[in-house]
Every structure is written in structure tokens, then in C-alpha cells.
A and B are shown apart, each in its own frame.
Chain A
Amino acid sequence: MGYDKPSRRFILKASAAAGGGLLLGLHLPSLARAGAETDAAGEFMPNAFVRIDTRGGITLISPHAEVGQGIYTSSAMLIGEELEVGLNQIQIEAAPPDLKKYLDPLLGDQATGGSVSTRADWVRLREAAAVARTMLIAAAAKKWNVDPATCRAERGVIHDATGRTLGYGDVAADAAQLPVPASVKLKDPSQFKLIGTDAKRVDTPSKVNGSAIYGIDIMRPNMRFGTVAITPVKGGKLIGMDEAAARRVLGVRDVIRTDAGDAVAVIGDHMWAAKKGLEALNPKWDPGENGDVTLETIVAAMDKASQNKGVVAKNKGDAATAVKGAATQVSALYQSPFLSHSPMEPLNCTLHVQPDRAEIWLGTQVPVRAQKAVAAFTGLPQDKVTVYNQLMGGAFGRRLDIDSVEVAAAIAKHVPYPVKLVWTREEDLRHDYYRPYYYDHVAAGLDADGKVVGRTHRVTGSSIYARWAPGAFKNGLDIDAIECAAETPYEIPAEYVDYVRDEPRAMNTSWWRGVGPTHNLFVVESFIDELAYAAKQDPVEFRRGMLKNNPRALAVLNLAAEKSGWGSPLPRGTGRGVELQFAFGSYLCTVLEVSVGPSGEINLHRAVVAIDCGMTVNPDTVEAQIQGGLILGLSTAMYNEITLTGGAIDQSNFHDYRAMRINEAPKIEVYQIRNSESPGGIGETGTAAAAPALGNALFAATGQRLRHPPFARRLVSGT
């Protein structure tokens, strides 16, 4: 995802919270991209993250949602550091939908995604906490009639020079009456006690004993349980169903069809009744105008579109001429398949729609969009829709969309009781908003010494921004679709990159973990590897030659090469692949070692990752995100593609949309370079690294260059 530069022009203001405590807010200048929700330009609006009650209870109202990435812990560490409290003293609440308070300044929306959360909160949460601490100390000093400079805070208690103490709760009400300091000094990193430590995650104890509540676990008084069938072909309509048969199933209470006729739900006393009822209902669909779409027709259209000139994303020198005149010319076509998110927690939504208000419980990356969707489908004003955001059982970008909320609202508005709608795995997988299919033409020229003299790259595919954030889709250029294609870590004298938008028929497309970089790094880093072999150079050495002015990129490359034993001999049939990236504000290099068995099975032996993500809040979380992200990426690159027949998705569950299992996972070593650069994003870096590292390793192992995942199938079949 692209993003705006963060604003540093914070103005802070305090106000009395309900209960007499100190509610501290940040006021951000309104961001034009937030659209209608912001007031007139120049007006400052409240934005609250820290609440301290009169009993000394400290609550972080987390602007970002917890999808498993550990943001609750990292955000609490930022707050705890400047408030001088331990993590066990902080309670965490998910922020309610409120663009004025909880807009992510980098995404221009109240959203969690794009690996931006720590970058967005790194300064604003520490400032919020530092101001709180300063005002609490000032309140205590006033009470004691001493100079605040003689007081200090430690673990939620203020001490003066004579040994007197007051708890934060004792002075919270007084602090709320004080003027807000015009500026606060943040701690020097050398004074950090929490930031930079392997602090234990705050959300995990409840996740090992079954007590954690995800959206799917919500229970409400008098709630019923439903499951949905949605038109299998986009644009299709319900044309028949056996409602009587469904109602004969024990426990079935209602059969509800959406007004638009694009979905139907069976509601009962439990999910089993709903599921059996839906089977008995046996809905029939008219596929509409998309009934003839197959993956082949989509790819054929994309191929045709890719022959057109695109919108220019990068134009340095005269790349086309440089390539044409080069001693060696290399060109290739890369394809990246449609992908499903398939988080472990299937889509679900619990709704209670009443005449004058609605409540919704779900895990969402975009609570304001969820609120608006319910308002739109029920006709209620937006402020009469209460969203209770829950923990998410994975998302990977899936919960950045609200199509499931729209379906749920279109159904729940017809029943008076609270209803929990749960998608079966099959419905979830077949009605995803898929990672787009991309079609990439690349070419480059090498001079007689094997140096790259120019490269061209045409990206063809869906624009997610054009649908998801039209304001960010400017002049036909999707800045996500070309991310890591237009800009690479390498110094190349002539470069031309353009983008052709081609929207696939019958498919919804959206963000998927790693977004633009996941597809472009696969293309660029695989192709760089091809160029290294064409230049008869070692792939690591070849990259080094283009990194003379990029010391951070060079450092991760050298570190990964050293730790992986790059260049040391390997058994026959085993190979190492390298990939290098600057994505999400972080530098990362991966070396992956693999072998291929006699029947074409891919064995992942060992991954070595070097990462420089600047200032690190929680190194253990960084390691975990790289380990897990890499496994998701490898799993996907080996096994996954979504295909269509007759306009409908062919895959349905984990038996035909395979996920890597523990016996297939490689050993993973992560080496972190510590420095004081600004924090980079981390949640998607490992996923983006996987496909190029694997493709390059498979080439080293087998001599087959794979330009179209999933690799496991294409290695065996040789296509």
C-alpha cells in the first residue's frame, strides 16, 4: 500500500474523561484523504489513546487492530515506555470506529494494514504517553508545592525528592484540569527500558487457554446462528430454493433472502441446524453475464491488455534503447496467480438490528467501513451503529473489506433477534476478494562485462486502489501495483516501468499480505537472478555490484550471505536462492536452501534472513513475523492458485487450497541489524521474500526457471 508522509504537527489537549480521570487526546490536522468524515481543512479534532482512571488503571485505546501481528503489545510498549509503567499495568481496548480520533495518518483511513502500524504510532503514541506523564507529575508537584523537576515517575507512582509518593490515580482528576504542555521531550533511545526488549505479548495468555474471544466466539442473549450461501458467480441471482425442506430441518427458524437476491441465509438454534437447513434449501442460481468466465479467458484478456502502453511509473534514461543496443538481451513473462487469504477464522459477523439502532460484533481491519456498511444496509444513521471490534483469527488483508458485513446486514435487518452469521470454509474461500492476477513483461540488457545497462517492466493487472481508495488512484497509476518494481535497491542507468490496468471479469480483488511487493519482488528478484546467470556471475556478487551507494541494502545482503554459508558446496539436487528487498521501509535479504526429490517434491531445508528495520520495538515480534510471513509466502508460492470455471471459483477448502504443514516448514534463522534509523514495517516482509527466494533456489537446484507460481505443480508437470 502507498501512504502519505506522517504529519509531525501534533497538538495535544486534555479533557476530563467520564469518571473524572484524565483522558488524553492528540489532535491531528485533518487529512484530506479521509474525505467526508473530516471537518473543514485546518480544524483540529480530538484523537484519544490513553485513559487513566482515578484508581490508577491505565488503558490504551489501540488505534490498530490485533490480527496476530502483535500490535497490541508493541503499542502498549510505546505507551508504557513514556508513562513509566510495565506492560502488566496496561489494559487494552480496541478503538471504536472514529476517523477523527483513530485515523491512521499513513493510510488515510482507520485501517490496519500495509505494515504501517508501528510507523504510524511510533511518535504519536509515545508523545501521548509523555504528555500524560508530564501532566501527572505536574499535578503531584502542585499538590506537594514542589518543583516538578524534582519529581519522577516509576511504575505508575510519582516520587518527590523527600520520598513522598502519589499514584497516577490519585492525581488523574487534578491532571485533567491542568494546561497541556506545548511540547514534551521524548526519551532518548539510550534510556529505553521497554522498547527494544523481547517483551512478552499481552494477548497470548488468553489464546492458550481458550478464553480469548474472536469475532466468531461472540454470544448474545437470545442469539440465533446462521450460515449463508452467496451467488457462486459474481453478479448472479437466486432463482430457486426449497424453503419448505429447509424449514423441516430440526432447529431451523428462518430462511432469509437478501433484497438484492445475491445471498440467502438459513438461521437456526445452532450452526448445525443452519448448515443442514442450507443443504436442504438447495439454492439455485442464475449465473448472469459472468457464467462463461474461466481463468483462461481472464488471462487472455490480460495478455491482450499488456500489449498496450501503460501509465508511466518510472522513466530514467532511455531504457528501451539501452536494452535494444545491449550486448546481451534478456526478456521474460512472469505471471502471479489469484490468491485467497483463507485465514483460520472463517468470515463471520454478529448483528443485532433494532428499529432505532444496530450493534455489530466482528473482527475487522476497517471498523469505520463496517459501521458505514451496516448504516447503508439498514438505513440507520451511522452514529446509531455500534461496532465492537474483536480479536481476529488471521486476516492477511481479508478483513480490509466489508463485503461480508454487507451480506450480514442485508440478512440481519430482516430479523428482530441478534444473529451470528458464520461462513463455511467453502463459502469463505469461494467469495474471497482475491489477490489480483498479475502479468509482467520484463526485459533488460547487459553490456559485454555483464553489467545491467537498462531494464523495462510492464505490470498488468487489477487496481485495488481504484476500488478501495479511489482518491489514491491518480492519473491511472496504481502505486501499489508498481511498488518494488518502479523503485529497487539497485543502481541501473536506464529504467522504464509502466502499468496497465486490466480488471478481471467475475473477480473481486483486494489486498493480500505483502500487497504490491509480494508480486513485484517475485518478478524483479527472479529476473535479477536470471540476469546474474546470463552474465555468468554469482547472484550475490551480481547484486553487490549494483549496491555501491546503498549501504543498508548491501549490509543485509552481506549478512545473509555470510550466515547462510553462501557459496559453500551443496549436494547434487540442492540449491540456494537469494532475494533482496527494500519494502515497507525495511531492508531484508533471504537465502533459502531447498532440494527437489525424485518425484518433484520440494523440500525446504533452511532459510536465513537478515533484516534492518531500523529502531525495533519488540525484536521477538520482528523475528516471529518474519518466520510466519515467510512460511505463509512459501506455502503460497509452492501450492496456491485460484482458478475459475463457468465464472465460479474451483477451489473450496484446505484439501484443494493447500496450506503448508509443520513437516514441510524449513528451519528459519533471523538476524537483526540494530541501529537508530526510523522504524520500518515488518508484518509483510517475510511473505514478500518467499516466492523469489524459492524460485531462485529451485533454479539453482534443478536448472528450471519458474516464472509462474505455484511451483510445486509446475515443477512436476514441467509447464
Chain B
Amino acid sequence: MKVLSINGQLHQVDVPDDMPLLWVLRDVLGMTGTKFGCGIAQCGACTVHLAGEPVRSCLLPVGAIDGRPVTTIEAISQTANGRKIQEAWLDKEVVQCGYCQSGQIMSATALLNQNPHPTDADIDAAMSGNICRCGTYVRIRAAIHAAASA
């Protein structure tokens, strides 16, 4: 049995150490907001925060979490920057299919946490790990700027 701290709650899970956090969240805990996209940390759809840092949960073994707190899309609205990003996403009508947007929002929130007023270059650096096949990049950029000045 392992104890995971997710969104401020403790969960006991009986899973192997090498099991990536992604599948624990989705298949064991039923928290499906975090998405599977590639399984090799190329697309960012599975991004969550581990002790505040954006990480790709598809390659993060639960055995390596070591008690550090996890935040997922389901609870990001409980943080000021997370809420700002979500509101900007709706205001700028960023979303199309929406499948990558949990990961985009987690990466964007982490960016604002570290850098309240990112430049275009900062956005490029922080967000280039998140693929959107619908091509919402123009609006993602606009929404991050809007959230930063909200």
C-alpha cells in the first residue's frame, strides 16, 4: 500500500512502484481529467504538478513520488493562478477539442506561479512541451498574457 497526497487528500493505493502516476490517477482513482496522449513525455497532455513543479505523469513512477503533494486539473481552480488561467481560457475561447487543455492549463499555471508576467519567449519555453493538434496556440498565448494582467 502506498499513500499519495493528491489535491490535498490522502489516497491509499495498492499498485506497483513502477506504475506511472497517470494510470493511478485515471484507472485506479477515477480522476480522468489528466489525459493520456503519448506515453513518452512528448505531448504534455498528462501534465500535473508535483510539489508545485509541472511534471509528465505518464513517466512518473508512483514509487518516486516519495510523499510529495500532487495537484491535478481537478483542483487547479483552488489556486489563484489556476483560476485566472481557467478564466482566461474561457474568456479567450481557447478550447477546441479540449483533450490537451488539462495539460496546457497545468503548464500555464506553473508558468505564472514562477513568472507572473511572462514574455512571449517565456511562454514559448514553458509551453513548448504541450502539443495541441487542434492548433489553439495563438489563443493560448493570448490567454496567458490576459491571465498575467488579470
Residues of A within 8 A of B (CB): 67-70, 198, 200-201, 203-205, 207-214, 216-217, 219, 225, 250-251, 269-272, 342-346, 391-396, 422, 424-425, 620, 624, 627-632, 635, 653-655, 659-663, 665, 667-668
> Which secondary structure characterizes the binding site on chain B?
loop
B133 touches A391 (CB 8 A): no
Which residues of B (11-56) have their CB < 8 Å from a CB of A? 15-16, 19-20, 23-24, 26-28, 30-40, 42-43, 45
Total inter-chain residue pairs, C-beta < 8 Å: 184
B28 touches A270 (CB 8 A): yes
Which of chain B's residues have a CB closer than 8 A to the CB of A225?
Answer: 27
Whole-angstrom CA separation of A130 from B19 in the bound complex: 55
Q: Which residue of A lies closest to B100 (CB)?
A: A344
Selected from A211, A272, A422, the residue in CB contact (under 8 A) with B20 is: A272
Shortest A515–chain B CB gap in Å is 17
Q: Which 7 A-B pairs have the closest CB atoms?
A: A210-B33, A393-B99, A68-B97, A631-B135, A207-B98, A628-B135, A210-B73
Name 29 A/B residue pairs within 8 A (Cβ), A-sorted.
A68-B95, A68-B96, A69-B96, A203-B98, A204-B94, A208-B98, A210-B33, A210-B73, A216-B32, A217-B32, A250-B16, A270-B28, A272-B15, A344-B35, A346-B36, A393-B97, A394-B134, A425-B37, A620-B93, A624-B93, A627-B136, A627-B138, A628-B136, A659-B43, A662-B127, A662-B128, A663-B125, A663-B128, A665-B137
Whole-angstrom CA separation of A662 from B139 in the bound complex: 10
In the complex, whether B81 has a CB less than 8 A from a CB of chain A is no
Which of chain B's residues have a CB closer than 8 A to the CB of A70?
Answer: 96
A214 touches B33 (CB 8 A): no
In the complex, whether B123 has a CB less than 8 A from a CB of chain A is yes
Selected from B24, B27, B101, B131, the residue in CB contact (under 8 A) with A661 is: B131
B33 touches A68 (CB 8 A): no
Which of chain B's residues have a CB closer than 8 A to the CB of A394?
Answer: 97, 99, 133-134
Which of chain B's residues have a CB closer than 8 A to the CB of A198?
Answer: 93
Which residues of B (59-108) have their CB < 8 Å from a CB of A? 72-74, 76-77, 86, 89-90, 93-102, 105
Whole-angstrom CA separation of A269 from B23 in the bound complex: 10
Whole-angstrom CA separation of A547 from B66 in the bound complex: 68
B99 touches A345 (CB 8 A): yes
Which of chain A's residues have a CB closer than 8 A to the CB of B112?
Answer: none
B135 touches A653 (CB 8 A): no
Whole-angstrom CA separation of A209 from B33 in the bound complex: 7
Whole-angstrom CA separation of A630 from B139 in the bound complex: 13
CB-CB under 8 A for A624 and B36, given A344-B45, A665-B135: no
Whole-angstrom CA separation of A655 from B141 in the bound complex: 23
Whole-angstrom CA separation of A422 from B74 in the bound complex: 22
B90 touches A393 (CB 8 A): no
Shortest B101–chain A CB gap in Å is 6
Selected from B16, B73, B86, B90, the residue in CB contact (under 8 A) with A272 is: B16
A219 touches B39 (CB 8 A): no
Residues of B within 8 A of A (CB): 15-16, 19-20, 23-24, 26-28, 30-40, 42-43, 45, 72-74, 76-77, 86, 89-90, 93-102, 105, 123-125, 127-141
Q: Which residue of A lies closest to B99 (CB)?
A: A393
Given pairs A69-B96, A209-B74, A422-B36, 12 additional interface contacts (CB within 8 A): A68-B95, A68-B99, A208-B89, A214-B99, A216-B36, A271-B26, A345-B35, A624-B96, A632-B135, A653-B38, A653-B42, A654-B43
Selected from B15, B30, B38, B94, the residue in CB contact (under 8 A) with A425 is: B38
Q: Which residue of B lies closest to A625 (CB)?
A: B96
Which of chain B's residues have a CB closer than 8 A to the CB of A631?
Answer: 135, 137-138
Whole-angstrom CA separation of A392 from B77 in the bound complex: 24
Whole-angstrom CA separation of A205 from B60 in the bound complex: 28
CB-CB under 8 A for A393 and B35, given A201-B95, A272-B19: yes
Which of chain A's residues have a CB closer than 8 A to the CB of B95?
Answer: 68, 201, 203-204, 207-208
Selected from A203, A217, A659, A667, the residue in CB contact (under 8 A) with B133 is: A659
Selected from B23, B73, B124, B138, the residue in CB contact (under 8 A) with A270 is: B23
Selected from A210, A272, A396, the residue in CB contact (under 8 A) with B27 is: A272
Which of chain A's residues have a CB closer than 8 A to the CB of B136?
Answer: 624, 627-628
> Which secondary structure characterizes the binding site on chain A?
loop
Shortest B107–chain A CB gap in Å is 10
Which of chain A's residues have a CB closer than 8 A to the CB of B36?
Answer: 216, 271, 346, 422
B132 touches A344 (CB 8 A): yes
Shortest A634–chain B CB gap in Å is 8
Shortest A416–chain B CB gap in Å is 20
Whole-angstrom CA separation of A540 from B137 in the bound complex: 29
Q: Which residue of A lies closest to B121 (CB)?
A: A663
CB-CB under 8 A for A627 and B135, given A208-B89, A211-B33, A272-B16: yes
Selected from A205, A655, A660, the residue in CB contact (under 8 A) with B90 is: A205
Shortest A10–chain B CB gap in Å is 31
B135 touches A630 (CB 8 A): yes
B93 touches A210 (CB 8 A): no
Which of chain B's residues have a CB closer than 8 A to the CB of A204?
Answer: 89-90, 93-95, 98
Whole-angstrom CA separation of A620 from B36 in the bound complex: 29
Whole-angstrom CA separation of A343 from B131 in the bound complex: 10
Which of chain A's residues have a CB closer than 8 A to the CB of B38?
Answer: 425, 653-654
Which of chain A's residues have a CB closer than 8 A to the CB of B73?
Answer: 209-210
Q: Which residue of A lies closest to B135 (CB)?
A: A631
Which of chain B's residues have a CB closer than 8 A to the CB of A635?
Answer: 135
Whole-angstrom CA separation of A200 from B73 in the bound complex: 22
Shortest A87–chain B CB gap in Å is 13
Shortest A355–chain B CB gap in Å is 27
B93 touches A201 (CB 8 A): yes
Which of chain B's residues have a CB closer than 8 A to the CB of A632?
Answer: 133-135
Which of chain B's residues have a CB closer than 8 A to the CB of A217?
Answer: 26, 32
Shortest B28–chain A CB gap in Å is 6
Q: Which residue of B lies closest to A210 (CB)?
A: B33
Which of chain B's residues have a CB closer than 8 A to the CB of A629?
Answer: 135
Which of chain A's residues have a CB closer than 8 A to the CB of B130?
Answer: 661-662
Whole-angstrom CA separation of A70 from B134 in the bound complex: 12
Shortest A389–chain B CB gap in Å is 14
Shortest A652–chain B CB gap in Å is 9
Whole-angstrom CA separation of A219 from B134 in the bound complex: 26
Selected from B26, B37, B134, the residue in CB contact (under 8 A) with A628 is: B134
Interface centre among A620, A659, A667 (most CB of B within 10 A): A659
A342 touches B40 (CB 8 A): no
B127 touches A344 (CB 8 A): no
Which of chain A's residues have a CB closer than 8 A to the CB of B135?
Answer: 627-632, 635, 660, 665
A271 touches B27 (CB 8 A): yes
Interface centre among B28, B33, B74, B134 (most CB of A within 10 A): B134
Shortest B38–chain A CB gap in Å is 5
Whole-angstrom CA separation of A70 from B28 in the bound complex: 32
Shortest B116–chain A CB gap in Å is 19
Whole-angstrom CA separation of A647 from B113 in the bound complex: 49
Whole-angstrom CA separation of A77 from B32 in the bound complex: 30
Whole-angstrom CA separation of A627 from B140 in the bound complex: 12
CB-CB under 8 A for A219 and B32, given A68-B98, A663-B124: yes
Which of chain A's residues have a CB closer than 8 A to the CB of B132?
Answer: 344, 662
Which of chain A's residues have a CB closer than 8 A to the CB of B105?
Answer: 208
Which of chain B's residues have a CB closer than 8 A to the CB of A209?
Answer: 33, 73-74, 76-77, 86
Whole-angstrom CA separation of A25 from B94 in the bound complex: 34
Shortest A506–chain B CB gap in Å is 25
Whole-angstrom CA separation of A201 from B131 in the bound complex: 22
Selected from A208, A213, A396, A667, the residue in CB contact (under 8 A) with B86 is: A208
Interface centre among A200, A205, A344, A422 (most CB of B within 10 A): A344
Shortest B132–chain A CB gap in Å is 7
Q: Which residue of A lies closest to B140 (CB)?
A: A662
Which of chain B's residues have a CB closer than 8 A to the CB of A68?
Answer: 95-99, 134
